[in-house]
Amino acid sequence: MKYVMLIMDTEAGGKLTPEEYQAWSSEVMAWYEKNATTGILADGGAQLQKPDTAKTVRASGVTDGPFMESKEVLGGYSVLETDTIDEAVEVAKGWPGVERGLVTIEVRPVVVF
């Protein structure tokens, strides 16, 4: 089954120095390399541009930015393919920075039409 792993950037992640960000980026690339060889990464994923580049569409119109009621913003996603959501969660737990509070991960099943 496919699951999307939504990677939410936190305030702590936004406070990394350039050196810390580079080190964390290296950890992220290692995570992708490790999981690409296992076949768990189904459709890859992508990093999203900063929230101030977003447009939000609502019934009331279109506004700049995400303007969510949250201190976390969607920073990227990966699509995983595992037998169960619990397996997908275990993969997500290995995302660099989760244990340090740099990101929060949401794992959600993908609806196949």
Question: Residue 51 is part of a domain; what is its CATH number?
Answer: 3.30.70.1060
pLDDT at 89: 94
Nearest to 54 by CA among 70, 73, 35, 41: 73
pLDDT at 74: 86
Give me the domain span that covers residue 68.
2-109
Looking at the structure of the chain, the number of domains it has is: 1
DSSP lists the bridge partners of residue 112 as none
DSSP lists the bridge partners of residue 2 as 81
Strand arrangement of the beta sheet that strand 41-47 belongs to? 41-47, 73-81, 2-9, 103-109
pLDDT at 60: 81
Q: Where are the beta strands (DSSP E) in 10-89?
A: 41-47, 55-58, 61-64, 73-81
pTM: 0.81
Q: Where are the beta strands (DSSP E) in 1-113?
A: 2-9, 41-47, 55-58, 61-64, 73-81, 103-109
Q: Report the chain (113 residues): mean pLDDT per 10 consecutive residues.
A: 90 85 93 89 83 80 67 87 94 92 91 86
